A and B are shown apart, each in its own frame.
Chain A
Amino acid sequence: MATTAIPWQENRIIQDRIKRTIAYTIVIIMAVAYIFPLYWLLVTALKTDVEIFAQPPPIIPPNPQWHNFADSTTYIPFWRYMWNTIAISGLTVLGTVLSCTFIAYGFARIQWPGRNIVFLIYLSTIMLPSQVTLIPLYLIFKDLGWVGTFLPLVVPHFFGSALYVFLLRQFLLTIPQELSDAARIDGASELSILWHVMIPLMRPALAVVALFTFVQTYRDFLGPLIYLQNQQDWTISLGLKLFQNMYGAQWQLMMAASTLAMLPTIVLFFFTQKTFVRGIALTGLKG
């Protein structure tokens, strides 16, 4: 092909190749830069407490201290904190998926007067900064005796989340109305249409909501900081600071525990990459 190319084409091929090389070079440099902090986390986690403060710091740990990982899980009640984090995240996912499914069905598949205006008002709550409701909610939960339990972190999620309702509603609107009509003629109730017809079709969208909710809750810091007051109820994000509090900073152990704390979301991502990418495209589409 190249032999028959007329000059301007050849010129273009060379230009394209140069552009391509530049693009690859930048992408690779950026990729290395993005990986580096995670690499540094792992490397620091494998160092001895002397190597930590060595100057210049060894880029590859000379004698990797794998036991740091085990040590970090006994220095703080690591598994207990992990269990708390996963329990809170799991319950939050359950509440969000359950409530948002019902709410989205009510906004998408049932024609009722005033539906659109009510939906718009509901949707506007996305824009509400959470700090505005923080103090009254804290005082309500305190009156209920819920402060110091998981309840303030979990229960609100059983009453829907506007963003995920929006996502599921968009998805439900794409399902042909005839499916519902046919089921209604057969005498099916709305609940059974939701359960037997919609939920099986909604699975990909529900997976997105579940994943995003899990990651978001798992990463949360402010909520647990305010509501979890007994040290044994802490999540891992709160627990990590204990490495700094007791005898100065135990950097290598703190890094080891941080690495372990990251693993669940990273592993989850690699197993559900497609769902994540689809979900991100969906959240962007709402523009």
Chain B
Amino acid sequence: MTISLRIPRLTKRQRRSLVVGLLFISPAIIGFFVFNIGPIIQSLQYSFTRYNILQPPRYVGLNNYLFLLEDRVFKIGIQNTLYMVLIGLPIHLVFNMLMALLLNTKIKGLSIYRSIFYVPSITPVVASTIVWLWIFNGQFGILNEFLRFIGLSPIGWLTDPNWVKPSLIFMGAWFGGNTILIYLASLQDVPYDLLESAELDGANAIQKTFRITLPMISPVIFYTIIVNVIGYFQYFTEAWVMTATRDGAAGGVANSAMFYSMYLYQTAFQQFKMGYASAQAWILFMIVLVATLFLFKTARWVYYHAEN
């Protein structure tokens, strides 16, 4: 599959198939320009303007970006989001992998357990976050009730700035069934004879896991890392529902649960500073791009075995 940049002369038949092919993918071409490329460019343009929707956008140069450098809430939003990506995400992925390894031990009733771990991840986020809100409730929540029962002092799970992010990570583990099942499906594809011959060579369970199983499924691990890094940078709904107040604000005590997308949403749709929010969107774009490129550059640990 070599790609030549010169436009080759096409035969009549090739020209026909080009036209038919493009017709079939035409929704994708339209979608690509109207919903992706166009808005990305527009977003960059807006980021150099002051725009409150009511008056036409006014060019302000780099002002939005300069303001962001001094915006305290924006800085907290970045810190909190990095906390989620660098601490929450690794915890979740390792935990999901452990669960998958556990389910891969040929236990009976696998399909029942699989359902139990998967179902939370398909419930509407708002509906299930509401029950967690009640579980975490400082005064009447079952978690603090339990702490009191074993003689510990209750914790402000959602009100103590030191606890709110760990609480969100704790709850997030409950939503991870999708990743557990992705890992489990790939674990089940690891050839058994490979593990058996390693065992005959005297490898123990831990050696087998780290030397064979994990390298064999490393492409899938890599895929889940990429997808989730992009997803966690946009972390929004759980934190929003958890910390929303009656007057429509969110972000928790002292912005301890203010995440990047939440601040972006507030800037754009509550304060109607479209230009300022676009600058934030573009910085997010750049951060995610750099993070993704970094992951691809350092992907030497990913092992592609005899697959095309």
Instruction: Mark A residues whose CB is within 8 Å of B.
Output: 19-20, 23-24, 26-27, 30-31, 34-35, 37-38, 40-41, 44, 52-53, 55-57, 99, 102-103, 105-107, 110-118, 121-122, 125, 127-140, 142, 156, 158-160, 162, 165, 190, 215, 218-219, 221-222, 225-226, 236-238, 240-241, 244-245, 251, 254-255, 257-259, 261-262, 265-266, 269-270, 273, 276-277, 280-281, 283-287
Query: From residue A268, how far is it (CB to closest CB) to chain B in Å?
Result: 8
In the complex, chain B residues 101-134 whose Cβ is within 8 Å of any chain A Cβ: 102-103, 105, 107, 111, 113-120, 122-128, 130-132, 134
The winner among B21, B120, B282 for most chain A CB atoms within 10 A is B21
Which single residue of chain A is at the shortest CB-CB distance from B110?
A: A27
**Contact A37/B135 with A23-B107, A226-B269, A273-B111 known, Cβ cut-off 8 Å:** yes
17 pairs, A vs B, C-beta closer than 8 Å: A20-B107, A55-B140, A57-B140, A106-B23, A112-B20, A118-B25, A132-B282, A135-B268, A135-B277, A138-B268, A165-B28, A219-B122, A226-B269, A258-B130, A265-B123, A280-B181, A284-B185
B46 contacts A by Cβ under 8 Å: yes
The winner among B117, B126, B140, B241 for most chain A CB atoms within 10 A is B126
The winner among A27, A37, A131, A221 for most chain B CB atoms within 10 A is A131
Residues of A within 8 A of B25 (CB): 102-103, 106-107, 118, 122
What CA separation (Å) do A227 and B226 show in the bound complex? 29
B209 contacts A by Cβ under 8 Å: no
Residues of A within 8 A of B119 (CB): 38, 266, 269
The residue that B18 contacts in the complex, of A34, A112, A276, with Cβ under 8 A, is A112
Query: From residue A250, how far is it (CB to closest CB) to chain B in Å?
Result: 11
Determine whether the beta carbon of B115 is less than 8 Å from that of A269. Answer: yes
Which single residue of chain B is at the shortest CB-CB distance from A54?
A: B140
Interface of B is mostly: helix
A110-B20, A138-B268 known; 14 other A-B pairs, CB under 8 Å? A34-B116, A37-B128, A37-B132, A103-B25, A129-B234, A130-B234, A132-B284, A133-B39, A156-B35, A162-B28, A236-B124, A284-B183, A284-B185, A287-B221
What CA separation (Å) do A222 and B241 show in the bound complex? 11
**Contact A127/B230 with A117-B3, A133-B40 known, Cβ cut-off 8 Å:** yes
The residue that A106 contacts in the complex, of B21, B53, B105, with Cβ under 8 A, is B21
Determine whether the beta carbon of A34 is less than 8 Å from that of B117. Answer: yes
Instruction: Mark B residues whose CB is within 8 Å of A.
Output: 1, 3, 8, 10, 14, 17-18, 20-25, 27-28, 30-32, 34-36, 38-40, 42-43, 46, 53, 99, 102-103, 105, 107, 111, 113-120, 122-128, 130-132, 134-135, 140, 142, 145, 149, 174, 177-178, 181-183, 185-186, 219-224, 226, 230, 233-234, 236-237, 240-241, 244, 246, 261, 264-265, 268-269, 274, 277-278, 281-282, 284-285, 288-289, 292
Which single residue of chain B is at the shortest CB-CB distance from A261?
A: B127
**Contact A133/B131 with A105-B24, A106-B22, A269-B115 known, Cβ cut-off 8 Å:** no
Residues of B within 8 A of A38 (CB): 119-120, 123, 131
What CA separation (Å) do A99 and B23 show in the bound complex? 12
